[in-house]
Structure 1
Amino acid sequence: MDIRQFQTFKSAADLGSFTKAAQALQYSQATITSHIQQLEEEIGYPLFDRLGKRIVLTEAGKELYPYVVELLTAYSKIKHISEDNHTVRGELRIGASETMTVYKLGPVLSQFKKQYPEVTLSLINDNCMPLREMLHTGELDIAVTLEPHVDDPQLIAIPFLESPLVFVGGSHLAARSMGELQDECIIFSEKNCSLRRTFESYMERKAWTVGSHMEFTSMEAMKQCVVSGLGISLMPYMSVEGMLRSKDMAALQTDDELTFYGQVCYHKNKWLSRAHRTFMEMVLGQQDTGNQRGVQL
């Protein structure tokens, strides 16, 4: 048996798809199929029921799964067995949302790379939901997200800052309330984004109907559209603080308080190396400068 076969098995089981496992592990579809077939031959039983495009663990697969999790955890420990009390080395795969990368992680990443040059560091920017999925599949070690409190029994989520959300519009809308602006164009982030879901939930509570709207994958593009007067949006205060102070955009009045939390997340079964623990300590050690409740918007 090969460790890669077990990694393929776990990824396919977690994602429910050989195709998604191939994408996650960057293998060809043929390699994924070969790994599963070899493992099934070794075990002597089929591990998956192939139901069209869906795959489901058989009873043998369900019995094998916890042992594979235990094996891969031990394998991770073995890869870092050369660490001693004075050395931080190894591989660190981090995921972060765009806002956290731009406004919080820059100094941490710079300091970490300078202090621990023996650590191979990689960073993926994505929305919070895909980042959490990558923690489940093992593609990421740690995710730093900005979203509502994470409620996932498989993940450990440690909050380290609180950031209010603010409704914003062009400077010509200063002193206007959200209730007066129902007909304005709505500037959304993409659909699998926590910010988008929070905005849509707010509109549903207010019985608003989504009319004219635009959708962007980039927070910076959204900000420029707001500044240009193209519509209104909902954004983390930390990402627009400078533009509000310079009056390039305006905060819109509302009685509702919406809050996101900066969180460091990892899988509960993830073995944390010295590199992992050191990075998380550096992130969690940041002063909570995201809580701006006392600032007049």
Structure 2
Amino acid sequence: MDFKKYKTFQVVADTLNLTRAADLLGYSQPTISLQVQSLENELGVSLLGRSGKKTFLTPAGKLVKHYVDQTFALMEEMETELRKLEHPHGLLTVAAPEFYCTQYLSLILHSYISENPNVKLQLFSCDSNDAMKKVASNEADLAIIAGPCDSPLMETMPLGKEDLVLVATSELLARHELSELLERYPFITYKSGSNIQRLVNECLQEYGFTPDKYIACVSDETIKRTVMYNTGIALLGAGLVEEELRKGTLAEIHRFPGKIETNMVMLKKRLAEQNIRSFAEIVQRVWKEWD
């Protein structure tokens, strides 16, 4: 199949003017005429007709033009997709809990865009469970999550581990004995069924503490703010409360070393995609520097 002849016919069919087509393609008019005639002989049909000085498409010409347009459109789409394999391009969507978005991903996104200016990034702030669901449904290309991912469809890349810290405000601890504080005030925690809630339950069991009263929140930041208002106690990642512990606003009751495993997850079938692979490489590199 001589694509050159089909391309020539497409331009002629678009312009219906041999002189104009010759200018657009950089050929002489006789060359244009020969290529169209050769295609007509090859297909065994007449593609163009003339009425006075006007050129028109025959019924066969209209049919061939329809399929030629589709063919070249598909070829352009194929070339575009092939370029994406060579260089990151287009939209990349990342899902992660609010803490990771504010503390880590802002810097990573800046580094990624600096290296890959043709990629448009979109960030979803949601809990780890919802982040994994977005990846599974292709609403997100990858996710940063707290805790494990058990899905056999997902590729999990460990990024690091973080302590969980049982905290209350220093003011509450100063006013109450620890036993009274644990008994009297509610435990502020994540909504039931969330990924990190399983880790929290393990820590509470290890500590021998079974709260009678709970307040369920949707994000780390909401839990921390609720604690800061002297509402109760909570188990939070050390990174989230590091500054408050240093300033003495919050007090550490107990620490559970390395309990939160931070992971990056993506669908196994999409691992070869250049956007995902390039972003994952930068995340792993930057995270290692932080550790």
Q: TM-score range by the shorter chain?
A: 0.5 to 0.7
Correspondence for 1:157? 156
Aligned length: 213
Asked if residue 96 in structure 1 is aligned to residue 96 in structure 2, the reply is yes
Q: Could you list the runs of 5+ residues in structure 1 that have no partner in the other structure?
A: 1-75, 292-297
Asked if residue 168 in structure 1 is aligned to residue 205 in structure 2, the reply is no
Cα shift at 1:123:
1.3
Q: Distance in 1 between matches of 2:114 and 2:236?
A: 32
Asked if residue 121 in structure 1 is aligned to residue 121 in structure 2, the reply is yes
Correspondence for 2:134? 134
Q: In structure 2, the residue corresponding to 1:285 is in which secondary structure? A: helix
Q: Measured at CA, do residues 79 and 268 of structure 1 come closer, stay the same or move farther in structure 2, by a change above 3 Å?
A: farther
Residues 265-289 of structure 1, C-alpha deviations (whole Å, 9 max, x = no match): 1111124322211111110002447
Q: TM-score, normalised by structure 1?
A: 0.63
Question: What RMSD in Å do the two structures reach over aligned CA positions?
Answer: 2.9
Percent of counterpart pairs with the same letter? 21
> Could you tell me whether the CA contact under 8 Å between 2:96 and 2:126 is conserved in 1?
yes
Asked if residue 286 in structure 1 is aligned to residue 286 in structure 2, the reply is yes
Residues 162-202 of structure 1, C-alpha deviations (whole Å, 9 max, x = no match): 1111111111327x997664313111122242233322344
> Could you tell me whether the CA contact under 8 Å between 1:161 and 1:289 is conserved in 2?
no
Q: Distance in 2 between matches of 1:177 and 1:156?
A: 46
Q: Measured at CA, do residues 178 and 197 of structure 1 come closer, stay the same or move farther in structure 2, by a change above 3 Å?
A: farther
Q: Distance in 2 between matches of 1:232 and 1:163?
A: 19
> Could you tell me whether the CA contact under 8 Å between 1:95 and 1:131 is conserved in 2?
yes
Q: Measured at CA, do residues 84 and 226 of structure 1 come closer, stay the same or move farther in structure 2, by a change above 3 Å?
A: closer
Q: Distance in 2 between matches of 1:282 and 1:190?
A: 31
> Could you tell me whether the CA contact under 8 Å between 1:171 and 1:227 is conserved in 2?
no
> Could you tell me whether the CA contact under 8 Å between 1:159 and 1:261 is conserved in 2?
yes
Q: Measured at CA, do residues 159 and 177 of structure 1 come closer, stay the same or move farther in structure 2, by a change above 3 Å?
A: farther
Q: Distance in 2 between matches of 1:289 and 1:240?
A: 21
Correspondence for 2:50? none
Correspondence for 1:234? 235
Cα shift at 1:141:
1.3
> Could you tell me whether the CA contact under 8 Å between 1:163 and 1:290 is conserved in 2?
no
Correspondence for 2:260? 260
Q: TM-score, normalised by structure 2?
A: 0.64
Residues 229-271 of structure 1, C-alpha deviations (whole Å, 9 max, x = no match): 21100001011101100111011136x5451122111111124
Q: Distance in 2 between matches of 1:107 and 1:277?
A: 18
Correspondence for 2:190? 189
Cα shift at 1:106:
0.9
Q: In structure 2, the residue corresponding to 1:259 is in which secondary structure? A: strand
Higher mean displacement: 96-105 or 234-243: 96-105
Cα shift at 1:150:
2.5
> Could you tell me whether the CA contact under 8 Å between 1:170 and 1:230 is conserved in 2?
no
Q: Distance in 2 between matches of 1:80 and 1:279?
A: 18
> Could you tell me whether the CA contact under 8 Å between 1:158 and 1:265 is conserved in 2?
yes
Higher mean displacement: 282-291 or 213-222: 282-291
Q: In structure 2, the residue corresponding to 1:252 is in which secondary structure? A: strand
2:139 counterpart letter in structure 1: E
2:231 counterpart letter in structure 1: L
> Could you tell me whether the CA contact under 8 Å between 1:188 and 1:214 is conserved in 2?
yes
Q: Distance in 1 between matches of 2:280 and 2:119?
A: 14
Higher mean displacement: 109-118 or 244-253: 109-118
**Which protein is richer in helix relative to its size?**
2
Q: Could you list the runs of 5+ residues in structure 2 that have no partner in the other structure?
A: 1-76
Structure having the higher Rg: 2
Q: In structure 2, the residue corresponding to 1:80 is in which secondary structure? A: helix
1:262 counterpart letter in structure 2: T
Q: Distance in 1 between matches of 2:201 and 2:282?
A: 34
Q: Distance in 2 between matches of 1:180 and 1:266?
A: 45
2:239 counterpart letter in structure 1: M
2:161 counterpart letter in structure 1: E
